[in-house]
Chains A and B, each alone.
Chain A
Amino acid sequence: MLPIESQKTSQIRFMLNGEETDVSFAPYKTLLEILREDLGHTGTKHGCELGECGACAVLLDGKPVLSCLVLALECGGKQVLTVEGLGEDGGLHPLQDAFADLGAAQCGYCTPAILVTAKALLDQNPHPTRDQIREAISGNLCRCTGYLQIFEAVEAAMLKIAGQKTSAT
C-alpha cells in the first residue's frame, strides 16, 4: 500500500496568485504543505508548523492566515496570495522595494510572511499609524531586525503607494 503521504486522493481548484490552479494532495495536508511540496511555491516559509512564529502567513481571500493551520481542503475556490504573487508587471511591489532599500530584510526568512501581512494592512487601511503597523505584524516574529526598519519600510511603501494613487487620478 502506498504511504499515506503519497495517496493524493484530494483535489482542489483555487486561485493561486491570480492563476487558476488545480492540485492533488494527501487529504491531511495544510495549505503550507501543498504550496511548498506540491506546487513548488517555496517562497512561503515555516518556523514551527504550530501557528506560533508567523513565518508561513499568506493571504486567503485578502486576509492574512497562518498557512500551517489551514487545511488545504478548505481552500477550494478561494484566492491565495503568496510572496511570489506580490510583484507587479515583472517588478517589485512597493513594499518589496522599500524592504530591500531600508534594511527590513536581514536573513529574509520571516520576510515573505511580513510582506503579505503588510500588504493586507495597506489594502485595508492605506494610512496606518506606527502603532497599527506594530499591531498588524505582531504575530510575525523576526529575530534579526528588531522590527524598526520593518516599520519604516512599511511606512515608506505606504507613502509610495499613496503617491502612485494620487498621480493615477
Chain B
Amino acid sequence: MPNERDPRVTRVGSLKANENDLRVIGVPRRRVDARAKVTGQTRFADDIFLPRMAFCKLLRSPHPHARIRRIDTSRAVAHPGVYLVLTGKDVPIQYGILPVSQDEQALCVDHVRHVGDPVAAVIAREELTAFEALDLIDVDYEILTTISNPEEALATSAPRIHEYGEEGNIHKLVALEFGNVEEGFAEADEIFEDTFFFQGNTHLPIEQHASVAIKDPDGKLTIWSSTQTPHYLHRALAKVLEMPAAHIRVIATPNGGGFGGKSDPFNHEIVVAKAALMLDRPVKICLTREEVFYCHRGRHPILMKFKTGVKKDGAITGMHLQTLIDGGAYGSYGVASTFYAGALQTTTYHVPRYRYQGCRTFTNKPPCGPKRGHGTPQPRFGQEVQLDKIAERLKIDPANLRLHIVESPNAVTANFFRLGTVNLSECIRRVVEVSGWKDKFRKLPEGRGVGLACSAYLTGAGLPIYWNKMPHSGVQLKFDRCGGVSIFCGATEIGQGSDDVLAGIVAQVLGIDPFDIRLFTGDTDLGPVDLGSYSSRVTLMAGNAALQAAERGKAIIAEGVAEKLEVPKERLSFADKRVFDSVAPEKGVSFEEAVCIAEARFGTIGTVGSYTPPKSPALYKGGGVGPSPTYSYSAAVVEVEVNPVTGWVTVPRIWIAHDIGCALNPTLARGQVEGSVYMGLGEALMEEQEFRRLPKKLSHALVHKFPSILEYKSPTSLDMPEVITELIEEPDPQGPFGAKEVGQGPLLPIMPAVANAVYDAVGVRIDEIPITPEKIMKALAEKKAGREPRFGPSHFPRINWPEALRVPPPWEGGDGNAVNDVPRRTRRVSKKEKVLTS
C-alpha cells in the first residue's frame, strides 16, 4: 500500500534532505512482524499447547499481612488429576530483579505480605482440576498488623514487612545535594512550595502473563514466557533452581503488551519451571486477570514536595524535591525507582543547584515497579504544574518561560548527566504554533482551556541492573548463499517494534528488503544477550549492535565484490538488493551473488556487533540511575472542556512534538507517540490502583478495590482525542542513524498538561493524579467559598533524612564524586556493594 507520506504526522528536521539516500530508514512502512499480528499467528505464551501438558494454578494469600503457621496439602495431593503440589520449601531461594533487593520467594515460606502473595501451587492434568485442588489446601495464618500506606509505614516500625532496608518499614532513603540549594533560595526573587500526589496505576496489558516450561529431552530446561527481560529471568531461574544457566533456555514470546509490567522475574515463571523439571512434562500457567492485578509492579504512588527558587525572569536558582514513595510489598525495581524519581528534574531546564530526598516504604499491597516512564512521570507532573504556577505569578507565558530556561545540548547537568541533542525548544515552538496556543491560552471561554508541559526521558539506562563490564546488546548476523540474512539477538518484541528496528537497520546497511531477513530474537540460547525491553533502550542499544554487525558484514562482502569487479571497495554501493559501482551503477551483482562471491573468497560469513553505553560522569553513589547515552524530549499542549456542573473533563485535542533524533520507521514512531499520549491520558483522568478495607465483620483486610478491567477504568476508543504529532528529527550522534527513544517520553507531559489545561478552563488547581470529576467539584466548591481553589495534598510528613551526599555541580568544579563520601574512582568496592543502585 502506498504509504510514502503520512499526512497525519509532521516531521521537522535536517533528515529530510537525505531522504533519497535512506531507502528503508525514515520511510513509513509495514513492520516485519505485521503479517503474523494481523492473522492471529503471533504465538503468545498462552497459545503454546504441547503434548502431555499439565496446568498450574497458584494458591494466593487472602490476607495482606500474615505469618504462615502451617500448610497442609494432603487433601489436594489426593485429589484425582493432581500431579504435584508445591509449597515454599520446594523453592525457598530468594530472588529479585535488583541485586540489592533479593526479597522474593516463588512461594512464600512463612510470611505473606499482600493479598495475592502465592503460598502453594497445584499442577494438574486439567486447569479446572488445579483450580479445584486449591480449595483443598489448608493454610493456618497468624494475622499481622497491616501497613496500608507510607505514613503508616513511617509510624510503624514493627512488625516489619521485610527484615532488610533502612529501618522499620522504610525500604530506601536517598539524599543527594548538588550545590548549595539554600544559597540558591537566597538568590531567588520568588520561592514556590507545592505538594503533589500521584496515585498508583497499573500497566493493564491485555495479555495476561503466561509461561510454559518443559524439561528438554537432554534434561535441560526450556521456558517460554511473556517476559520483557529474558536475560534477567534466565539469571533468576539459575539462582533459584540451582542449575547452571547454560542448562536453561528462556524464550521470551512476543508480549501482548508490556509497559514495564513484565520486566521482573515472576514467581509463576519459577514455579512452572520447577514443576516441569520434577514432573518431566510440559507445565503451563496463565494468570487470571485478577492475578495480573496482584503481580502489578506498576506506577508507585508518590507524595511530593517541590521547593523551587526563581528569578523574576523565571530562571531557576535552586530546587529541592522530597518524595514519599509507596513501594508495596517487595523491592522489585524500587531502589532504582526511588533514584529515578529524583533523577531527571535537571535534564529539561537548567537547575543550577538541586537537592533530592527520597523515601520508599514497604506496604502490604502488590509491589510497585517500573511502568512506562519508570519513577519519572510523578515528579514530572509536580515540576510542570509548579512551573505553570510560577509562570502565572511571574506573569510570563508558560511556553516562553520554559523556552527561557531550557537546558543546552551536550550539557552536563548539576547531577552529572551528560545530555546529547536537546531540541526541547523546537518542540515547544512547534506545539505552540500548531495548537494556536497564543490565541487560546487564558483566552478561551470559561469551561475550556489549554495547558502545556514538557519532559525528557532516557534513551536506555546507562548501566545494567547487575554490575558487569560487558555489552548491553549483542547481535549476530548470518549471511546465506540465497541472499537471506538472519539476525540473532536477545531483544524482546513487546509490541514496540523491536524486531522491526533490527531488520530495518540491517536492511538499510545491506541494501536489501527488511522482508528478506529472518529474525531469531528473545531467545537466550539462540541470540547474544540484550538486556531487555525496558528503559527505552532497544532502538539505540540493540540498534547500534545491529548496525555494527551489518557494517562488518558489508565490509566482508564489499571486499569480495571489489576484487571480483575490479572496483575500489569504497566505491561500492549497497542498494535495491544489489552491490554496484556507485560511479557506474550498471556494473554490479545481485546481493545474492555478492554473498556467494564473498563466501567463496572468505568462507562462511557471519558477523557480530555489540553496544556498550559511554561511561557516565556521575560517579557518586546513586549516580548509576539516570545516565543515558542521550535523552529524548517532548512538549505537549492539551485542550480540555470541563463541565462546571459535573466536573467531567473532555479532551478534544492534543498536540505533541517529540525530539526523536530520527524516526527509523515513522509509522511505528507515530504509534509510540499516540500510544504514550493515550496511556498518559488514562493516568491523567481515570486510572488508579486503589485499595480498601473489607468490612470489620469480614476480615477487615486491605484489598484491591477493583482488580478487574471493568472497574479499573482505562480510556476506550470513545475517549481518545485527536492527536497531532510532530516529530523533530535532528540526528543524535549516539543513536543508530541518529535515533533516540520514543516509547516512553511522550507519555510524560500529558498528565501535567491536562492539569494545567483544567486550571486554564475553570481556574482550579488539581495537584493530584488522577484528575477525577469529584476532585474538580471539590476544588470548584473551594473556589466558590472563597478559599484556595485547589484540590491536593496539604502536607508532607517529617522524615529523618540521612546526611545528603554533597556533589558539587560541574560549574562549581565538581568531578562527579561526593565530597563527603569516598570517591568512587579510587575506593575499593566490596562485592556486595558492586551494584548499580547500592
Contact = CB atoms under 8 A, between A and B. Distances in A.
B495 A106 contact: yes
B717 A47 contact: no
A83 B717 contact: no
B723 A146 contact: yes
A140 B206 CA distance: 10
30 contacts: A3-B128, A5-B125, A37-B49, A42-B40, A42-B47, A43-B39, A43-B41, A45-B207, A46-B46, A52-B709, A92-B38, A92-B39, A97-B1, A101-B30, A103-B31, A103-B670, A106-B675, A107-B207, A108-B36, A108-B256, A109-B205, A109-B495, A115-B38, A143-B203, A143-B257, A145-B678, A146-B677, A146-B720, A147-B717, A149-B667
B125 A47 contact: no
Contacts of A2: 81
Contacts of A106: 495-497, 671, 675
A71 interface: no
Given A52-B710, A98-B1, A111-B40, A47 B675 contact: no
A135 interface: yes
Interface in B173-232: 203-208
Contacts of B670: 103, 149
A49 to B, nearest CB: 7
Given A107-B256, A108-B38, A134 B30 contact: no
Contacts of A50: 289, 708-710
Interface residues of B, number: 66
Given A47-B709, A97-B38, 4 more contacts: A53-B289, A100-B30, A107-B255, A148-B723
A99 B37 CA distance: 9
Contact of A111 (B37, B125, B675, B722): B37
A156 interface: yes
Contact of B256 (A36, A43, A109, A150): A109
A168 interface: no
B39 A107 contact: no
B37 A108 contact: yes
Interface string B671-684: 10011111100000
A148 B6 CA distance: 13
Contact of B80 (A3, A46, A82, A142): A3
A165 B496 CA distance: 35
Nearest to B203: A143
A105 interface: yes
B1 A156 contact: yes
Contacts of A135: 717-718
Given A3-B124, A50-B289, A103 B716 contact: no
A82 B41 CA distance: 12
A140 B667 CA distance: 22
A1 B496 CA distance: 47
A144 interface: yes
Interface string A33-56: 000110010111111111011010
A141 B709 contact: yes
A92 B747 CA distance: 33
B254 A107 contact: yes
Given A143-B259, A156-B1, A55 B206 contact: yes
Scoring B33, B259, B495 by chain A CB atoms within 10 A of each residue's CB, the highest score goes to B495
B18 interface: no
B668 A134 contact: no
A143 B204 contact: yes
A167 interface: no
B784 interface: no
B37 A138 contact: no
A64 interface: no
Interface of B: 1, 3, 8, 30-31, 33-44, 46-47, 49, 80-81, 124-129, 203-208, 254-259, 288-289, 494-497, 667-668, 670-671, 674-679, 708-710, 714, 716-718, 720, 722-723
- How many residues of A sit at the interface, in one of the four size bands? 35 or more
Contacts of A134: 717-718, 720
Given A109-B206, A109-B256, A5 B129 contact: yes
A52 B708 contact: yes
Given A42-B47, A145-B674, A102 B39 contact: no
A122 to B, nearest CB: 15
Contacts of B258: 107
A137 interface: yes
A87 interface: yes
Contacts of B39: 43, 83-84, 86-87, 92, 96
A143 B678 CA distance: 8
Given A48-B709, A148-B674, A92 B257 contact: no
B40 A43 contact: yes
Contacts of A108: 33, 36-38, 42, 254, 256, 495
Contacts of B668: 103
A40 to B, nearest CB: 7
B170 to A, nearest CB: 33
Given A101-B30, A142-B206, A150 B38 contact: no
Contact of A96 (B38, B204, B254, B674): B38
Given A5-B129, A110-B206, A135-B718, A100 B38 contact: yes
A84 to B, nearest CB: 6
Contacts of A86: 39
Nearest to B127: A5
B650 to A, nearest CB: 14
B717 A140 contact: yes
In the A-B complex, the 6 residue pairs with the smallest Cβ-Cβ separation, listed nearest first, are: A43-B40, A107-B495, A108-B37, A109-B256, A146-B678, A5-B126
B289 A47 contact: yes
A52 B289 CA distance: 10
A143 B206 contact: yes
A138 B709 contact: no
A3 to B, nearest CB: 4
B712 to A, nearest CB: 9
Contact of B34 (A5, A100, A137): A100
Scoring B47, B124, B256, B258 by chain A CB atoms within 10 A of each residue's CB, the highest score goes to B256
Scoring B31, B288, B679, B717 by chain A CB atoms within 10 A of each residue's CB, the highest score goes to B717
Nearest to A53: B709
B722 to A, nearest CB: 8
A35 to B, nearest CB: 11
A46 B722 CA distance: 28
